[in-house]
Structure 1
């Protein structure tokens, strides 16, 4: 019927998995936190950075803060800040509609950047591990970077779930707009792997400058059962049903040898997306190495400097 075996069909219709179970099985592997957000009610004189934050370094760890918070990176983060990076990084906690505290990081990579990238990262990492990548990416594409941790990841409280993903990115979106005054037309939503789930959901509800979907999935069931053609009511992460509602330009990036989320997912989303621009299919790339290919930065730069410039002309 849908290419599923009799046994698989029986499992689906006799005892269908609930979305939370699909989500837990496919997606959520929060790492041991590589950082902590610490209260900083009285920053020491002379340590204030732009935006009212604080910055200091001690031995092999670094501390950076914004307002009431400072970020303590552990050695597990595999990256430690220089003073220059401290001065352009803010961290804080916001609260989601589901009551969880959400850790956020804002990096001013480019002083005169037109766009800010709201980045939803992949699985098994947190902000401490992603920070060096964000600094390098933002510098190279001339954008500032704003990111957050999902519930249960890093300093964010609660447990990972599909509903929490949507609430987490909503909290990040509103924090970016209210705290930094960034207008939607200057925000690029970027989702990687599981991060494409909250990205597509938000992009289907709010117009923004653009959307980047990096190694995206069509739905949880289609990852677990590759021959699935229909979206069942108990499916989790139904990007395939939401992507057609995105009113903003969409760039889809996928490796042709992706061993985690098959290349066919990227193709299917591209075909369903009415405002998709020329995609980037990286020949030979897997799930976690697309950034190592020169085409990656080249396509992002062209997307931002040419495709979006034409859209906003």
Structure 2
């Protein structure tokens, strides 16, 4: 009996060690996917192909890494809101151009699209520390421009981009007007249990000391759940209930954490939305939701901000 218990304990210990080893070895491949399978790192199209007015922007991050971005304008003299769009982890900014084309039309805005380091035409290799610096370099660039209204900068992040955008928004309370998060995860450690199901037991059943070790081993924790409550700007949470990548409960947890400290939080659900197509399946309601949010908090319309709103009050 004793030998059986010992064997069981050794087996469980082996699973824990193996799970941690896999997390360490493959975490960057799980978090960052600059190149889609079967494609190259280069851009398949550029904004000109969609007849968009754009500018190639080249930046230097604070550690010297050369970055590429597209600044896309609705009109040559458009001084309306400017959305900083931070993409999901797979592929590059060119794969989001069709969505951005519609965004310009529906929201009457400019859009700034940054290629994270290691993505598209940007140099370097992705990491949380590096991408955080990249996002700051992009915002600093926008703040120096004289052809836009720098008081109307909105951050919009989807999935990994939501984690990037949340960090940037927290760090720049005076420069960013509002934040939009779509299908964003609570943290990479939580996502590890989703992408590698057998790790759920390791993570969920670990002691506090074990969790500290796991957090130490994760190079890019992107723990948005730990910073969302520190953001003071208005936040719109957009959740696709059919999300096959990030469980929708992650968005509900982020909203609950934010709304406990911020009275200008709004949560909107889209029943047929999947991880990357909520903007498409959501139809006109999707764009009206964002437009209404921007009109309240960016375009100067008066808003009492007295209560946080759930999906019921924001869905009309």
TM-score, length basis structure 2: 0.74
Of stretches 197-206 and 298-307 in structure 1, the one that deviates more from structure 2 is 298-307
Which of 179, 184, 200 aligns to 2:166? It is: 200
Q: 1:290 to 1:7 in 2, by over 3 A?
A: farther
Show the counterpart of 2:136.
170
Separation in structure 1 between the aligned mates of residue 247 and residue 186 of structure 2, nearest angstrom? 10
**SS of match in other structure, 1:25:** helix
Show the counterpart of 1:219.
187
Preserved CA contact (<8 Å) 1:79 1:132 = no
Gaps of 5+ in 1: 36-75
Q: 1:248 to 1:121 in 2, by over 3 A?
A: same
Preserved CA contact (<8 Å) 1:151 1:159 = yes
Which of 236, 241, 247 aligns to 1:256? It is: 241
Separation in structure 2 between the aligned mates of residue 121 and residue 25 of structure 1, nearest angstrom? 15
Q: 1:34 to 1:13 in 2, by over 3 A?
A: closer
Higher-Rg member (1/2)? 2
Separation in structure 2 between the aligned mates of residue 8 and residue 241 of structure 1, nearest angstrom? 30
User: How far apart are residue 12 of structure 1 and its match?
Assistant: 8.2
Preserved CA contact (<8 Å) 2:272 2:278 = no
Separation in structure 1 between the aligned mates of residue 13 and residue 103 of structure 2, nearest angstrom? 46
Preserved CA contact (<8 Å) 1:254 1:266 = yes
Preserved CA contact (<8 Å) 2:34 2:92 = no
**SS of match in other structure, 2:125:** coil
Aligned pairs for 1:222-261 within 5 A: 222-226=190-194, 228=203, 232=212, 233-234=215-216, 235=218, 236-261=221-246
Preserved CA contact (<8 Å) 2:178 2:235 = yes
User: How far apart are residue 138 of structure 1 and its match?
Assistant: 1.6
User: How far apart are residue 312 of structure 1 and its match?
Assistant: 9.4
Show the counterpart of 1:44.
none
CA RMSD, 1 decimal: 2.9
Task: Number of aligned residue pairs: give it.
Answer: 265
Show the counterpart of 2:155.
189
Query: Which structure shows the bigger proportion of residues in helix conformation?
Result: 2
Of stretches 155-164 and 123-132 in structure 1, the one that deviates more from structure 2 is 123-132
Preserved CA contact (<8 Å) 2:99 2:279 = no
Preserved CA contact (<8 Å) 1:79 1:129 = no
Q: 1:112 to 1:22 in 2, by over 3 A?
A: same
Separation in structure 2 between the aligned mates of residue 14 and residue 263 of structure 1, nearest angstrom? 25
User: How far apart are residue 135 of structure 1 and its match?
Assistant: 2.5
Show the counterpart of 1:300.
290
Cα deviation, 1:225-282, whole Å, max 9, x if unaligned, reads 1555687433411111111111110101111121101101100100111335221111
Show the counterpart of 2:6.
none
The answer to whether 1:128 aligns with 2:94 is yes
Show the counterpart of 2:308.
none
Which of 243, 252, 268 aligns to 1:280? It is: 268
Preserved CA contact (<8 Å) 1:102 1:150 = yes
